Amino acid sequence: MRDINELQVIIQKAVEKIQFPAHPSKLYEPIAYILDMGGKRMRPALLLMACDLFDGDIEKAIPPALAIEVFHNFTLMHDDIMDNAPLRRGRATVHERWNSNTAILSGDVMLIEGYKLIMQVEDHLLRTILNIFNDTAVGVCEGQQLDMEFEDRADVSIPEYIEMIRLKTAVVLGGALKIGALVGGADMRDADLLLEFGENLGLAFQLQDDILDVYGDPKKFGKQVGGDILSNKKTYLLIKALELTEGAAKDDLNNWLSAAKFDSANKVAAVTEIYNTVDVRHHAESAMQFYAEKAFAALDSLGIAKDKKDYLRNFADSLMVREN
Amino acid sequence: MRDINELQVIIQKAVEKIQFPAHPSKLYEPIAYILDMGGKRMRPALLLMACDLFDGDIEKAIPPALAIEVFHNFTLMHDDIMDNAPLRRGRATVHERWNSNTAILSGDVMLIEGYKLIMQVEDHLLRTILNIFNDTAVGVCEGQQLDMEFEDRADVSIPEYIEMIRLKTAVVLGGALKIGALVGGADMRDADLLLEFGENLGLAFQLQDDILDVYGDPKKFGKQVGGDILSNKKTYLLIKALELTEGAAKDDLNNWLSAAKFDSANKVAAVTEIYNTVDVRHHAESAMQFYAEKAFAALDSLGIAKDKKDYLRNFADSLMVREN
């Protein structure tokens, strides 16, 4: 098995080699710009890993892996417009550096370029893999729609939240793994198990992110602690806290949510204190554990050698214990 | 050969039957809304006609025809945001009725739905037809980009303008005809000739539109005469007039282009008068004729019976003589 870091390097080099037309430059430059922002290339690397797991030819997995990465960056380009985000990884977002129209149209072309890349799989896999890619793409759009709708809703339930993060972030991991497995020669049963592994691991990751936003060590986490609290983001923790608090504590929480003016440190401290009183961290960690175990159960059922399962399990574990 | 009107009815019924998921409703309602606005369904009808031309099974051509129609409406949904257009066919545009974010995201899903529809062709045609669909889709985006850039440029040349309208409007007609021909059993030579027919006919149509905007009978044309003049739209006529005028006439034209305040009827009359002095109508009609003849030459080379060629030629002629 190749190391994930090695796979990330392979993807990074392949991303740098993607050629887009020179004209119209305003259409294609933003694509190179956003792809150049970097990132961990985790989704395409996982696709390569899934291929490698079945002793497949990594070279054949590179175009679909790039398709996943280009698709992912298309969603970032359009999401940044919708979220009105000025920065991504410390650099101006495309709609800020150019304008919204450019970000819309360059994003549209990126989605088409994603299809051109995914189509480079062999004929016998073409229809199957395109169907997975379509399902993944539709899922991400549905997830983004739900995420936007949740901003204006006070009554989002935990199952609704789980479904939203499944669509918005987990299906791409699942889809990438399934596509990689098929390119690597896996049968449909194993490919579906890897999809299940990926989706559940994706859910566990997102729940971990929700927890780390509040309880993470800022040095290790790399983001501002409490960012979700300050933006009233409907995370697992907030939704669970709204569900569990009663009386004065619930009023208190709602007051912080509706407060127009506040001291940031005070708000983070006060909301965290409310979270602590109803022990939302424990609930979130249980949920995270639940999805991690579902992921590992799918992994156990795979028809591959034990040392490969152990490798995948250790890799997933290494992602899950960044903090706690 | 089935009549084009019959084919348009088939498409209209098929469009009405497309089922999108019920949830998230805000994601899928705008898709049904824009498809329900109607239109002549000319692109998908031409796809069916191309299939019929080779005695193909029209039923098999319906999903790719719907793909072209869904794709076309996706471009309208995103173009309307970019053009800041409040109305389409007398109804509020999607970004006006909902908001820009909804129009961006619903448009994205439409593009994916287009791929799901185009994929319903038979296995042996799948890769070929997807490649045509990709080329068409990229072309339209490039055309829209050029169109937006031309708004801010004073030095657009006639060849640049032709390339822009080829990409923005003609490649879809060409692509639709080529796909329909292949589904109908045509060989690649005939399919390519139909693409050439469609692209050149598309160019001729667009030039006719440019002419009718100025010289059309408002009763027959169905649009406000002089709309392009009032909005300083860089049409063939304006670009040619900027090329041909000199001295006082050129200054006069540029003054009208830069005038912030003006009486609409005066501007239309004055610019039309300048157009007349350098005879741009004649130039535009010659260009239109040039592309129409290229279209008919491609048609003549097709390996189909003479009565079918005559049918297509008569159909194209009927579209070309709405006015003059």
Q: Would the pLDDT of B129 be above 80?
A: yes
Which residues of chain A are in CATH 1.10.600.10 domains? 1-185, 187-324
Q: Report the C-alpha gap between B42 and B173 in whole angstroms.
A: 9
Q: Higher-confidence residue: B219 or A176?
A: A176
Three-class SS of residue A231?
Answer: coil
Q: Would the pLDDT of A222 be above 70?
A: no
pLDDT (0 to 100) of residue B321? 62
Please indicate whether, in this complex, the C-beta atoms of B127 and A130 are within 8 angstroms of each other.
Answer: no
By DSSP bridging, strand A87-88 and strand B91-92 are unpaired
Cβ contacts of A104 on chain B, cutoff 8 Å: 78, 81-82, 104
Cα dihedral B79/B83/B88/B90 (nearest 10): 170
| DSSP 8-state secondary structure symbol assigned to residue A153 | -
Please indicate whether, in this complex, the C-beta atoms of B101 and A115 are within 8 angstroms of each other.
Answer: no
pLDDT (0 to 100) of residue A221? 61
Q: pLDDT per residue over B226-275, tens digit each?
A: 999 999 999 999 999 999 999 999 999 999 999 999 999 999 999 999 99
pLDDT (0 to 100) of residue A324? 42
Which residues of chain B are in CATH 1.10.600.10 domains? 1-186, 187-324
The number of beta carbons lying within 10 Å of the beta carbon of residue B21 is 11
Cβ contacts of B26 on chain A, cutoff 8 Å: 145, 149
Q: Report the C-alpha gap between A85 and A68 in whole angstroms.
A: 22
Q: Report the C-alpha gap between A314 and B245 in whole angstroms.
A: 75
Interface size between A and B, measured as CB pairs under 8 A = 99
pLDDT (0 to 100) of residue B242? 96
Q: pLDDT per residue over B6-27, tens digit each?
A: 999 999 999 999 999 999 999 9
Please indicate whether, in this complex, the C-beta atoms of A78 and B104 are within 8 angstroms of each other.
Answer: yes
Question: How many CA atoms within 13 Å lie on the side-chain side of B206?
Answer: 22
Q: Would the pLDDT of B218 be above 80?
A: no
Q: Would the pLDDT of A6 be above 50?
A: yes
Nearest chain B Cα distance for residue A248, angstroms: 35
Q: Which of A101, A105, A119 sits opposite B127 (nearest CB)?
A: A119
Q: pLDDT per residue over B92-124, tens digit each?
A: 999 999 999 999 999 999 999 999 999 999 999
Cβ contacts of A78 on chain B, cutoff 8 Å: 104-105, 108
Superfamily of structural domain B1-186: Farnesyl Diphosphate Synthase (1.10.600.10)
Q: Which of A104, A115, A145 sits opposite B26 (nearest CB)?
A: A145
pLDDT (0 to 100) of residue A153? 92
The H or E element that residue B258 is part of is helix B247-258
| DSSP 8-state secondary structure symbol assigned to residue A303 | S
CATH number of A1-185: 1.10.600.10
Q: Report the C-alpha gap between A243 and A246 in whole angstroms.
A: 8
Q: Report the C-alpha gap between A205 and A169 in whole angstroms.
A: 9
Mutation target to probe the B interface, by most B beta carbons within 10 A, among A26, A72, A141 is A141
Q: Would the pLDDT of B322 be above 70?
A: no
Q: pLDDT per residue over A136-169, tens digit each?
A: 999 999 999 999 999 989 899 999 999 999 999 9
Closest chain A residue to B80, measured at CA: A101
Q: Report the C-alpha gap between A198 and A312 in whole angstroms.
A: 11
Q: Which residues are registered as beta bridge partners of B87?
A: B92
Q: pLDDT per residue over A298-311, tens digit each?
A: 999 999 999 999 99
Q: What is the mean pLDDT of chain B?
A: 95
Closest chain A residue to B144, measured at CA: A105
pLDDT (0 to 100) of residue A321? 62
Q: Which of A26, A105, A146 sits opposite B24 (nearest CB)?
A: A146
Residue indicated by tokens 């079945």: A54
Nearest chain B Cα distance for residue A121, angstroms: 10
Task: Collect all residues from B whose CB is shorter than 8 A from any CB in A.
Answer: 21, 23-24, 26-27, 78, 81-82, 100-101, 104-105, 107-109, 111-113, 115-116, 119, 123, 126-127, 130-131, 134, 137-138, 141-142, 144-146, 148-149
Angle of helix B236-244 relative to helix B280-301, nearest 10 degrees, comes to 130
Q: pLDDT per residue over B24-41, tens digit each?
A: 999 999 999 999 998 899
Q: Give the CATH architecture of domain A187-324.
A: Orthogonal Bundle (1.10)
Backbone angles phi, psi at B154, to 5 degrees: -100, -5
ipTM of the complex: 0.95
Q: pLDDT per residue over A245-274, tens digit each?
A: 999 999 999 999 999 999 999 999 999 999
Exposure string of A119-128, with b = 16+ CB inside 10 Å and e = fewer, is: bebeeebbee
Cβ contacts of A138 on chain B, cutoff 8 Å: 109, 112-113
Residue A144, token pair as written in the block: 């983004």
What sign has the CA pseudo-torsion B86, B105, A32, A122? negative
pLDDT (0 to 100) of residue B1? 85
Nearest chain A Cα distance for residue B119, angstroms: 8
Q: Which of B100, B123, B137 sits opposite A112 (nearest CB)?
A: B137
Q: Which of B116, B123, B126 sits opposite A134 (nearest CB)?
A: B116
Long-range (24+ apart) CB contacts under 8 A made by B250-258 are: B257/B232
Cβ contacts of B144 on chain A, cutoff 8 Å: 105
From B90, B48, B38, select the one nearest B68 (Cα to Cα).
B48
Q: Would the pLDDT of B223 be above 70?
A: no
Q: Would the pLDDT of A120 be above 80?
A: yes
Nearest chain B Cα distance for residue A39, angstroms: 23
Q: Would the pLDDT of A104 be above 80?
A: yes
Q: Which amino acid is at A167?
A: L
The number of beta carbons lying within 10 Å of the beta carbon of residue A197 is 29
Lowest-pLDDT choice from A219-228, B130-139, B143-152: A219-228
Please indicate whether, in this complex, the C-beta atoms of A101 and B81 are within 8 angstroms of each other.
Answer: yes
Q: Which of B115, B146, B148 sits opposite A115 (nearest CB)?
A: B115
Long-range (24+ apart) CB contacts under 8 A made by B96-104 are: B97/B30, B97/B33, B98/B26, B98/B30, B100/A81, B100/A100, B101/A81, B101/A82, B101/A148, B102/B26, B102/B27, B102/B30, B103/B30, B103/B77, B103/B78, B104/A78, B104/A81, B104/A82, B104/A104, B104/B78
Q: Which of A105, A123, A145 sits opposite B127 (nearest CB)?
A: A123
Nearest chain B Cα distance for residue A251, angstroms: 31
pLDDT (0 to 100) of residue A320? 77
Q: Would the pLDDT of B82 be above 60?
A: yes
Nearest chain B Cα distance for residue A113, angstroms: 8
Residue B128, token pair as written in the block: 């070929």
Nearest chain B Cα distance for residue A40, angstroms: 25
Query: Please, are residues A245 and A255 in contact by the beta-carbon 8 Å criterion?
Result: no
Q: Higher-confidence residue: B318 or B299?
A: B299
Nearest chain A Cα distance for residue B166, angstroms: 14
pLDDT bin (cut points 50, 70, 90) of residue B198 is very high
Please indicate whether, in this complex, the C-beta atoms of B123 and A127 are within 8 angstroms of each other.
Answer: yes
Q: What is the mean pLDDT of residues A289-294?
A: 96
Q: pLDDT per residue over A46-99, tens digit each?
A: 999 999 999 999 999 999 999 999 999 999 999 999 999 999 999 999 999 999
pLDDT (0 to 100) of residue B324? 42
